[in-house]
Chains A and B, each alone.
Chain A
């Protein structure tokens, strides 16, 4: 049985094709102004990779901020629900799944079946999400993917305000003017973000194992900062940005079985 999960995020659409419980292929596209069209593209790309046709797919599940306008979708699942499913699928011992995306950070507490028990979401502020790093990289005039390696070179971090992206950016600019070394500023950016996210996770309780997914999980600078703040080693899967789509595909598999009954 084949199922497809689509994650219509704020920046990218991610798609995972699941073939009898195994990941068959992945696909992605930029959301742009028309996430529905982007989703169509990504689905077709992934299906092509897996040598499947649309009609071979038993069930589609959509998730992500634009899930209501997803094409093909038989049903939807919340981002938190999808994260929990994917986290436990990837690491069976996972009980806390942290998902840091472009514009939202969330943490989900789940049981051994991957059913979410509790969750928190960062509140109306992007300082705990991916765009914060993006804005800071812009201020530091380094490439986004260079931020992580840069931060790892630092021994200490400069002080920085992380209550808001805008204020954070002006903080960074003043640090640059004071000629603080760039690695230390980069590390400060990650530390500030990890600080916000860890205090959010502490409201849930840090239950090991902790898994970090979402686009920002690819940034080793952030992972290092978060490990320091939480005092545990968070686990990062391959393709962490596809976790939402994977969770949706897993949900699709369960729902397809239910409908067959």
Chain B
């Protein structure tokens, strides 16, 4: 039932031969890119933690994890993919299904997406469409159903386009966040999603299962927060490494990921005690905010920052492909089914800093997040990263800049595309920005 289509309403006809050809070349290219990225990350930190080996392995999109999921699928487990962080993964886990995030970071496939939507559309969307077109993404292929959360315009229509191939469950996000009415509406969406997942998987989500799932995500959040805490002090881990760890959570087994992350943190704590920094503690500390950056191709900005001359180190981010994944725990009060579902609803809606929201104070949560990170993580400069077509992030820049200007933190607006060609130009800008930060540190 997975690949049953309702008739192609969006996707162009594409021959089997072309799919296979494109898939094999792009897969080979992607494997090369992943290997190269990891090689460069290894080079950047000669004493890279042993625990990173696991994450290097799991980050291979065509590797071990994909095989594991396949094996589970053959045993009858369902895979539920999602495109936005708003998908309630606890419910998926409680129904004994596997949650995976399926957004694509492949540059090459964004050009294929151009066959369906105009180039003005956000490349994350185009790339995901392209990946589906040639069946490149293993996780997207394995998904039995997709949760499409109607956040930005791109995501809204992406679900619609992918419905050519997959069962799509829309989740309607109220865009005005600070009203009781919105929360009620969203909580109803969560409850409906619960029924939908139950029917689809045939597993009832019981109070006990849901409690276990929430506790599992608590443990993951605990490990995750511990890792971010370690980045507060002098650098013991390259920003890219931490970002990769954060991102692997999106497709890895949650239990194992938590254990491995705790192990990584143990190692990093020892490293901090030895005062064995990955780079000079004077290195400008950078935070990245803006459009999500997906492994493997869209790793160019973190790579540029940490390999630039002068070098920078990423100590924090505000990305839904990064620290926003697990920052907020599900705050359950009473462990009754009702309260747990409400808590899940609140965690996904209220705590989110996604720019698709507004309120009577605008998207103030995001500003607060940034100001707090700047203070506690001792951030010296912020890079505001936007891909062309990402309207919401682009439009919030002015407000973010004003807020950061007030506390005298420089912010640089860097816009780019899903392409490798502008790396030279980006390098000039990133280096000028880091030079500016260094000059400020010297004063």
Contact = CB atoms under 8 A, between A and B. Distances in A.
Contacts of B425: 124
Pick from B309, B431, B432 the residue with the most CB of A within 10 Å.
B432
A76 B309 contact: yes
B436 interface: yes
Given A78-B428, A81-B432, 4 more contacts: A115-B443, A119-B433, A119-B436, A124-B415
B432 A79 contact: yes
A124 B431 contact: no
B78 to A, nearest CB: 44
B300 to A, nearest CB: 15
B429 interface: yes
Interface string A121-158: 10110000000000000000000000000000000000
A166 interface: no
A87 to B, nearest CB: 15
B298 to A, nearest CB: 17
Contacts of A118: 410, 436
B180 interface: no
B436 A81 contact: yes
Interface of A: 65, 76-81, 115-121, 123-124
B28 interface: no
Interface string B415-443: 10000001011001101110110011001
B410 A117 contact: yes
Contacts of A119: 412, 432-433, 436
B410 A78 contact: no
A91 B343 CA distance: 61
A117 B415 CA distance: 20
A80 B439 contact: no
A96 B422 CA distance: 27
Contacts of B435: 77-78, 80-81, 116
6 contacts: A78-B432, A115-B440, A115-B443, A116-B439, A119-B432, A124-B422
Contacts of A76: 309
Among all A-B residue pairs, the 9 with the closest Cβ atoms: A78-B432, A80-B432, A115-B439, A78-B435, A116-B436, A81-B435, A78-B431, A121-B429, A123-B415
A124 B415 CA distance: 9
A120 to B, nearest CB: 8
Contacts of B433: 119
B443 A65 contact: no
A177 to B, nearest CB: 30
Contacts of B424: 65
A65 to B, nearest CB: 7
A89 to B, nearest CB: 16
Nearest to B434: A78
Nearest to B388: A124
B429 A81 contact: no
Nearest to A66: B424
A78 B410 CA distance: 17
Given A76-B309, A123-B415, A124-B422, A117 B432 contact: no
Interface string B58-81: 000000000000000000000000
Pick from B410, B413, B425, B435 the residue with the most CB of A within 10 Å.
B435
A164 to B, nearest CB: 14
A78 B435 CA distance: 7
Contacts of A115: 436, 439-440, 443
A77 to B, nearest CB: 7
A81 B439 contact: yes
A117 B428 contact: no
A152 B309 CA distance: 43
Contacts of A78: 428, 431-432, 435
Contacts of B422: 124
A79 B439 contact: no
Interface string B187-219: 000000000000000000000000000000000
A116 B436 CA distance: 6
Nearest to B397: A203
A117 B436 contact: yes
Nearest to B405: A118
A85 B309 CA distance: 19
A144 to B, nearest CB: 25
A81 B309 CA distance: 13
B438 to A, nearest CB: 10
B439 to A, nearest CB: 5
A116 B410 CA distance: 11
A80 B435 CA distance: 9
Nearest to B443: A115
Contacts of A81: 432, 435-436, 439
Nearest to B398: A203
Nearest to A118: B410
Nearest to A114: B439
B415 A65 contact: no
A51 to B, nearest CB: 33
B436 A79 contact: no
A76 B427 CA distance: 13
Nearest to B430: A78
A121 to B, nearest CB: 6
Contacts of A120: 413
Contacts of A116: 432, 435-436, 439
A205 to B, nearest CB: 10
B400 to A, nearest CB: 13
A79 B309 contact: no
B443 to A, nearest CB: 7
A115 B435 CA distance: 10
A78 B438 CA distance: 12
Pick from A78, A118, A119, A121 the residue with the most CB of B within 10 Å.
A78
Contacts of A77: 435
Contacts of B439: 81, 115-116
Nearest to A119: B432
A201 B359 CA distance: 31
A119 to B, nearest CB: 6
Nearest to B401: A203
B120 to A, nearest CB: 14
Nearest to A76: B309
B15 to A, nearest CB: 34
A80 B412 CA distance: 13
A33 B332 CA distance: 65
A78 B428 CA distance: 7
